[in-house]
């Protein structure tokens, strides 16, 4: 299993952090690889919502990265499953209230299969880059 994780503390309430993360249209504001995103089905931020997402892939190619919200516990947990694209990790944002803000832990997991096993080191690096973008999330939310 390939795993990546990062944590930061954001000087905003768990409700504010959750609301921002649950609305997929906010992704381009803090995730550098997101080229385009739109709600494909369901209600924005709700369990079962699917977002159509285009990401910057290897060599500058655009790749699909659509995802579905699989866990929606406001102010505590937002989980998702990537449902389109070459890699289909599961991920979650775990929110914990702390004095002065919210501790946010971002996890990504992928069970590589077939050719993906050969590409596991590259996928691992990509997942690590993704979770380390929490610093961007912190900057964006604290500037609001």
The answer, yes or no, to whether residue 122 has pLDDT greater than 90, is: no
> Is 42 within 8 Å of 55 (Cβ atoms)?
no
2-143 homologous superfamily = START domain (3.30.530.20)
Three-state secondary structure readout of the chain: CEEEEEEEEECCCHHHHHHHHHCHHHHHHHCCCEEEEEEEECCCCCCCCEEEEEEECHHHCEEECCEEEEEEECCCEEEEEECCCCCCCEEEEEEEEECCEEEEEEEEEECCCCHHHHCHHHHHHHHHHHHCCHHHHHHHHHHC
100 or 119: which leads in pLDDT: 100
The pLDDT confidence band at residue 140, using thresholds 50, 70 and 90, is very high
Return the domain boundaries, the chain.
2-143
> Is 4 within 8 Å of 107 (Cβ atoms)?
yes
pTM for the full model?
A: 0.94
pLDDT digits (tens, 9 = 90+) for 37-51: 999 999 999 999 999
pLDDT digits (tens, 9 = 90+) for 62-118: 999 999 999 999 999 999 999 998 889 999 999 999 999 999 999 999 988 777 677
The answer, yes or no, to whether residue 124 has pLDDT greater than 80, is: yes
How confident is the model at residue 36, as a pLDDT? 97
């Amino acid at each position: 299993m390939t795993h990546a994780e990062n944590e930061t503390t954001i000087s905003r309430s768990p409700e504010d952090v959750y609301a921002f993360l649950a609305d997929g249209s906010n992704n381009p504001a803090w995730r550098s690889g997101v080229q385009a995103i739109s709600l494909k089905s369901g209600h924005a931020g709700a369990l079962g919502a699917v977002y159509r997402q285009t990401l910057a892939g290897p060599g500058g190619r655009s790749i699909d990265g659509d995802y579905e919200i699989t866990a929606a516990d406001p102010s505590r947990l937002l989980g998702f499953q990537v449902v389109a694209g070459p890699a289909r990790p599961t991920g979650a944002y775990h929110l914990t209230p702390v004095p002065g803000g919210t501790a946010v832990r971002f996890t990504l997991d992928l069970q590589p299969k077939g050719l993906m096993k050969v590409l596991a080191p590259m996928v691992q690096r990509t997942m690590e880059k993704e979770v380390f973008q929490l610093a961007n999330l912190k900057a964006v939310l604290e500037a609001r």
